[in-house]
Amino acid sequence: MSNAFEFQNVTKRFGKTVALDDITYAAPRQSVIGLIGKNGSGKTTLLRHVTGLYLPTSGDVTTFGVTAKDLGRAELSRIGVVNQHDTFLPWMRARQLLAYVSSFYERWDKDLEKHLVRILEIDTDARVGAMSPGNAQKLGLVLATCHRPELLLLDEPLSDLDPIARQDVLTALLEYFRTDNATIVISSHMLHDIERIADRIVCMDRGRLVADSSLDDLKERYAEWWVASEQGLLPARFTDAFVLSSSGNRHTARMFVKDPDAHVGAFSSKYSATVESRPLGLEAVFRLLAHREGTGAFIDAGDRGRPETEGISG
Amino acid sequence: MSALYATGRLLWRPAILITLFPLALIIALAFWDLPNATLGAANDSAARITLWRFATLVPAMFGLLLSMTMRELQHTLFAWTLPDLSRRLRLGKAVIGAVIAAGIAAAALPFSQPGLSVAVLGWSWLSFAAGGAVFDPVLSKIESRGVALIVAALAFSPLYVQRVMQLQPHVIGMLAAVTGALLMTREFGGVLARKRPLTFTTAVSGTAATRNYWAGQTQRNVEWSTDLSEGGLTSWLRAAHHEGYGGAKAGFLTMKLGQLAITVFTGFISAAPNMVVFFPWIFMDGRRQLLTMLPYPVQRSQRASLFFLSSLLDSLTAAALGLTGLGILLAAGYSFEGTSVGTSTIGLATMLLSFAAWAPVNHWTNVRGPFDKTMTAKAGIKRLALLLVYVTLAMSPGLLFRIFVPPGGAAWIGLAGFAVITHAAYWFALRRHFARADLVVPR
């Protein structure tokens, strides 16, 4: 099965700013991909390339096998997009906008529209320009999903929503994914929410891809260790490459490590210490991936077979 | 000095360059519609009339632009914490106003006796202050529209202003200056400042002010029924029209009728047929476009074609409005002084052809219109240059008449060929733009 979209050595510059730096990536179909990264890491830029709103400075972007600049009706009507702060036509009422956008597509699931409008509590008689940012975001979600796209790109779709609305949106997304087996890419800072629905994680930092892995693999690959010396003193500083950061004293230490299972035995023997390993949540993993400014490239290619080049040292 | 520097530094932004366009237009208008005025041949009376219009419109426009920008600075949460900002802005604005008024008064010296220069000085200063008051949010809509109407009426009636000023130039000039100073003091007054909303209230998407605005709007409920799923260019053109004009309170036709009325009025006041034919070209707004970031299932090359067709429609509408306006005036028995060539078929055709030939330059400035939220200094200068070129060239049919009247066959072929070339260049530029450019600008 071909990928939903692919980036091949894509670099995007805005003047002197490098927004995407030699990105090579393929989004597998029928997966929910969580796109995470700090502000300005290039998430929005990446998503806009997928729909052809942006064109790469160099490299190639293909969506459904078609180059981004040549995307036509056949491909674009298979994509749904929610932008962080969508600007719709403010003078329309919500129902008018729904009717207008539905006319773009050959198929428009009216039942799904009614269902989403009901569960997301959207007032369809309200003027779009008069909607709160949260309600506008919910409306954007309805507009992006009712033509049942094969590829759904969600750029910070939860940022303006309250916790209850976020829950509703996530439930709706999960329902949608189970029904249609679509590819969903969701970019968000709400990592707990991403953790609930994503099966793959792509992490970006300063325009580069620093992780691309299944969520489970990513979480297994990192761990928090609580280390207690059984005999003698622990070293003042751990120089092992798999130790990403550490703190503590010469008797006990807390550290974040990479590939814990591969190293736990040797580590215990080497330092005559007991190790208690605790799994990490996505947020903690993200901190490890992102908290490495100035340390050079650290590529976690996960199961995609790319080499690691450098570790994080505390 | 620091106040002036602070004002200048705060006001400076590349986007402000674009505001020079209406200013250039006003300066051009001041010299434009005098029936007998030609380059270098303005008689004394015509020059004086021009002078008073100039002394009203230019300072008013400067005052308006400065006030709009200053308000943005003054009424933000950030500015609230800056010490002494209001005083510095007031002083800076006063200095800028004084420099403009003095410049206009100095320019007036060759055309008037010294006493009248004092009147021009006071009058320019008052116009500057009045321009600033037009959009003061403390004023009610009726009050601000009243101020705008007075400024516009005086600008269009320079003879009356001149007659009043000549009665007692010193006294009236002083009175005007004092009134202007009072207006400006009021604009920066502390009590009024507190009455104004703290945050800037222009249409920033998603703000409470914008939401309240739209909640109170009573737009027509235009329903959309065309199926675009198999839609060709014509269907998408209708969609673009729907997006651009569907939200207009009175509808597209009523809007154009209003513009026709303004055109006829302008022709009536100016007594210049070329003004009637030209004026509707100012109304071209390039709004007939796909305005949002929705993933329209439209290929980039189709977007280029859509843009081109939309531009052509804009040009045709402008031409139709101009001709209709002229037809109305002629049918009503209005006679244009000494401009028989202007109303002849050949004259009109020449004018229209010359406007049409240059129209793509104007359309090109809209290419990034709906998308371009930011503007670099380079882009600003480029756009300004394009607009100035367009205004200068489009507003010089008088010169064309001198060269082409009566236009011979070669001139006609030349003009028509030039129109074809500009449109072909526009077409290729659009194709290139949509094939290469980003369709949205990064935040």
CB distance A92 to B247 below 8 Å: yes
For residue B36, is pLDDT > 50?
Answer: no
Q: Which two tokens stand for residue A310?
A: 């450098």
Check pLDDT > 80 for residue B172.
yes
- pLDDT higher for A61 or B231? A61
- For residue B291, what is the nearest residue in chain A, using CA coordinates? A89
Beta bridge partners of A5: A27, A63
**Looking at the predicted structure, is the pLDDT value of residue B404 above 70?**
no
In the block, tokens 């190639």 appear at A60
Q: Which residue of B has its CA nearest to A147?
A: B229
pLDDT at B20 (0 to 100): 62
Q: What is the pLDDT of residues A257-285, one digit of tens each?
A: 989 999 999 999 999 999 999 988 888 88
**Which of B131-135, B318-322, B345-349, B432-436 has the weakest average pLDDT?**
B345-349
Confidence (pLDDT) at B276: 80
Taking an 8 Å cut-off on Cβ atoms, the answer to whether A80 and B295 are in contact is: yes
CB atoms within 10 A of CB A108: 17
Q: Bigger pLDDT: A88 or B285?
A: A88
What length is written for chain B? 443
* pLDDT for the residue numbered A52: 93
Nearest CB among A70, A92, A104 relative to B296 is that of: A104
Chain A residues in contact with B293 by the CB 8 A cut-off are 53, 81, 83, 86-87
Q: Hey, CA dihedral for B369, A86, A38, A178, is it positive or negative?
A: negative
Least confident of A212-226, B146-160, B292-306, B414-428: B146-160
Which residues from B are below 8 Å from A87, CB to CB? 205, 292-293
- Considering only A301-310, B301-310, B335-344, B393-402, which range has the smallest mean pLDDT? A301-310
Which of B230, B435, B439 shows the shortest C-beta gap to A53? B439
A106 lies within 8 A of chain B by CB: yes
**Which candidate, A255, A247, A266, places its Cα nearest to that of A288?**
A255
pLDDT at B249: 74
> Is B398 in contact with B332 (CB distance < 8 Å)?
no
Please give the DSSP secondary-structure letter assigned to residue B367: T
**Which DSSP symbol is given to B333?**
T
Give how far Cα B45 sits from Cα of B26, B30, B41, B51, B53, Å.
20, 14, 11, 10, 13
Cα(A259)–Cα(A244) distance, rounded to whole angstroms?
A: 11
Selected residue with higher pLDDT from B372 and B67: B67
State whether residue A83 sits within 8 Å of chain B by CB: yes
Note the maximum CA span of chain A. 74
User: What pTM was estimated for this model as a whole?
Assistant: 0.76
Q: Which of A48, A76, A91 minimises the CB distance to B246?
A: A91
A72 touching chain B per CB within 8 A: yes
Is there a contact between B176 and B122 (Cβ–Cβ < 8 Å)?
A: yes
Please indicate whether residue B398 or residue B220 has the higher confidence score (pLDDT).
B220
Interface contact A105, partner B, CB < 8 A: yes
How near does any CA of chain A get to the CA of B293, in Å? 7
A103 contact residues in B (CB cutoff 8 A): 224-229, 239
Q: How many CA atoms lie within 13 A of A25 on its CB side?
A: 31
pLDDT at A267: 92
pLDDT at B402 > cutoff 70: no
Order of strands across the sheet with A222-229? A243-248, A252-258, A222-229, A273-279
User: Whose structure tokens read 């366009």?
Assistant: B21
Higher-confidence residue: B199 or A281?
A281
Helical pair B345-364 and B409-436, crossing angle rounded to 10 deg: 20
Cα separation of the two ends of chain A: 41
* pLDDT grade for B42, boundaries at 50, 70 and 90: very low
CA distances to A34, A184, A282, B89 from A197, in Å: 8, 10, 12, 53
Mean pLDDT of B269-283: 74
Query: What is the average pLDDT across B315-335?
Result: 87
Question: Is a pLDDT exceeding 60 seen at residue B203?
Answer: no
| More confident site: A49 or B209 | A49
Average pLDDT of span B177-192 = 81
Phi and psi for A37 in degrees, rounded to 5? 165, 160
Is A53 near chain B, with CB under 8 Å?
yes
Query: Which chain B residue has its CA at the smallest distance from A98's CA?
Result: B224
**For chain B, what percent of residues have pLDDT higher than 90?**
14
User: Range with the lowest mean pLDDT among B44-48, B89-93, B202-206?
Assistant: B202-206
A58 in B contact zone (CB under 8 Å)? no
SS3 A246: strand
- How does A239-259 read in b/e, with b if 16+ C-beta sit within 10 Å? ebebbbbbeeeeeebebbbbe
Is the preceding omega at residue B406 within 30 degrees of 0, hence cis? yes
Of the pLDDT bands very low, low, confident and very high (cuts 50, 70, 90), residue B397 is low
User: What are the distances in angstroms from CA A218 to CA A266, A281, A310, B412?
Assistant: 22, 10, 17, 73
Rounded mean pLDDT of B354-359? Answer: 82
pLDDT band at B368 (very low <50, low <70, confident <90, very high): low
Question: Could you tell me which chain A residue has the CA closest to the CA of B231?
Answer: A104
Q: What pLDDT score does B142 carry?
A: 75
- pLDDT tens-digit profile of B237-259? 999 999 988 887 778 898 899 99
Q: Which pLDDT belongs to residue A228?
A: 92
Find which of A14, A101, A104, A124 to mutate to test the B interface (most B CBs within 10 Å of its CB). A104
* pLDDT computed for residue A302 by the predictor: 43
Which member of A87, A91, A106 has the closest CB to residue B229?
Answer: A106
Per-residue pLDDT of chain A (314 residues; tens, 9 = 90+): 589 999 999 999 988 899 999 999 999 999 999 999 988 899 999 999 999 999 999 999 999 999 999 999 999 999 999 988 777 888 899 999 999 999 999 999 999 999 999 988 899 999 998 888 888 889 999 999 999 999 999 998 887 788 888 888 888 888 877 788 899 999 988 888 888 889 899 999 999 998 899 988 888 889 999 999 988 888 888 888 899 888 888 899 999 998 999 999 999 999 999 999 998 888 888 888 876 543 433 334 443 433 332 223 32
How much is the pLDDT for A300?
Answer: 45
